[in-house]
Each structure stands twice: as C-alpha cells, then as structure tokens.
Amino acid sequence: MDLQVRNRGRGRPTRQHPEGGSDREPEANPGHGQGNVAGDPVATAINRITDVLERMTEHQAHGAVHQQGGPIDYEDRALERFLKFGPPKFYGGPEPEVAEGWWERISDIFAALNYTEERQVTFAAFQFEGAARSWWNLIRVNWDRNHIPRTWANFTREFNAKFLPPLIQEKREDDFIKCKQGAMSVAEYEVQFTKLSRFAPELIATEQRRVRRFVQGLNVEIQEGLAAVRIDTFADAVERAQRVEVARTQVKTYQAKKRFAPSSSREPTYTNAPLAKVGRGTGARGAGGRNNGTNGTKWKRST
C-alpha cells in the first residue's frame, strides 16, 4: 500500500497486484460485453452454473450412448439363447408337412422363452433361407409400408397363406372345431388345442373366447369342477383343469382300492337249513374198525 502512495504524482503510477487482490484492470469478456468483471460475484456464479450445465449435458449425452448399446447387447444375448435350442432352417417349398413341422418346432422353442411377439417374429424370420427369405423380405416391406404390427398372429397368418394350401387349412380348422379332450389328459388336450388353434384365429380372437372354447372341449366331469370358478386367462384355465383332473384321479384310485381290498373281519356263515341225507353205506369206521355212530349214513348241510 505504501508503494502505491509514493508513486502517485510522479507520472504514471506503477501498480502491483498482490495475489488474490481486487485492484485488477477490468478484463473484457468477449462473450458478454464490457459490463462483466472477473471479480464480480454475480458473474462468477453465472459462469459456474453455465459450466455445471455444460458438464451435465455432456454426461447425459455420454450416458445415452451407453444406453443405446445396452439393448443391443441384450438383443444379442436373447438371440444366442434362441439359437442354443437348435431352431431349424426353413427354405420354403410345396410340402405342407415340412412347413407345419418347422412352425411347430419354432413355437415350442418360443414357449420356453419369455420373448415379446415382435422378437419372436424377428427370430423366426432369422431362420428363413432361399425362397423363404425372399418371400419374407417382401412381407416385411409391406408391413413397414402399411404399419402392420409384428405380432405372432400376423406372422402365422402370412406363413399359412404362403406355405399351406387352402385345403389343408380348411381341414385343420375343422379339426380345431371338433377338438375334444376325450381319452387325452388335460396337458395333451391343451397341446392339441393350441396346435390347431392357429388355423382358426377368428374363433379365439379374444382371451375369453379362447378360454370358453377350451373349457367346452374338456370332459364333462372336469367342466363340472370348473363351473363355480372364475377364469380370466387361458393359462389359468389350463392350470385349474389340471388340478380338477388330479383330484378326480385321486378319488377314483381311492374308491378302486376300497372296493377290491380284502376285509379281515369276514367270517364264514352257516345257514339254519336241515342236514340232507346223501347216501347209505357201511358207515365210516374209526380206529379199531368200530362204527363211528352214523349208522352208515352220510350227511351234509344243504345250502
């Protein structure tokens, strides 16, 4: 401070700026004009807030890149799980049995994997080769153009229309309409019901219609066990039907054992009918040749 006082009045003063001092020359801020001063607490606070916002923006952008990579990694793992089941390739062709076999195998794999319908369609189409691949490329373009959702029902409808002749489809639809449990177990009936239901999607357009048709095909004694139960989903209908089936089987087994089990309390019974004379002879003799007192007559109790 003394140095500054002595230099005053001798021409241009020489200023010294101690570290952290506040006697600096005003510095121009090219971004905000001449009104901002570096030591201004308001300007400093604004600069810090701006810096924090910029860093947050960079962090969010960096996180978005990682989030974009996350679903890709998950998709790769999902595809790897699917391929571990050994799904068959499909090349197309006029043989409806080959097409049905391929579709059933793919459906069985997806039954074991909890995948969305869109992913099921994508992975199923991944197995197309040759003519089937060319056909699917056309279908995919048409779906994208007309905004058709990638559902398993839509995929099945297109697949059947291409690779199964109308006569085969009509036969399978008729089989579905006539599908009953009969001598099958509930599990076997459910497999057959699901297998044939794809040929008549309009008959099971809603979950309730699907449940109702499934229950109507069950045996009468199982339907009676479900009469007082509210069923909302198809999976619930199958589970409850299997429970009723198990309970009925246990009752039948118990009754069969009870009917044919030998009773230890039974004793031989005799009637009060008089003795009937069988014949006359010399009589049975005991030891020493003496007569046993029957006078040579044999008797038996009449029944």
Least confident of 32-46, 66-80, 217-231, 247-261: 32-46
Q: What is the pLDDT of residue 258?
A: 82
Q: Given phi > 0 = left and psi -120 to 50 = alpha, else beta, which region is 293?
A: left
Q: What is the mean pLDDT of residues 216-235?
A: 94
Q: What percent of the chain is predicted at pLDDT more than 90?
A: 52
143 or 297: which leads in pLDDT? 143
291 band by pLDDT with thresholds 50, 70 and 90: low
Cα torsion through 195, 199, 205, 207, rounded to 10: -10
Helix residue ranges, H only, the chain: 2-7, 41-84, 96-112, 117-125, 131-146, 152-163, 166-177, 186-197, 207-216, 220-226, 234-260
182 or 9: which leads in pLDDT? 182
9 band by pLDDT with thresholds 50, 70 and 90: very low
Q: What is the mean pLDDT of residues 133-153?
A: 96
Q: What is the mean pLDDT of residues 96-106?
A: 94
Q: What is the pLDDT of residue 255?
A: 85
pTM of the model: 0.53
99 band by pLDDT with thresholds 50, 70 and 90: very high
Least confident of 21-25, 37-41, 80-84, 276-280: 21-25
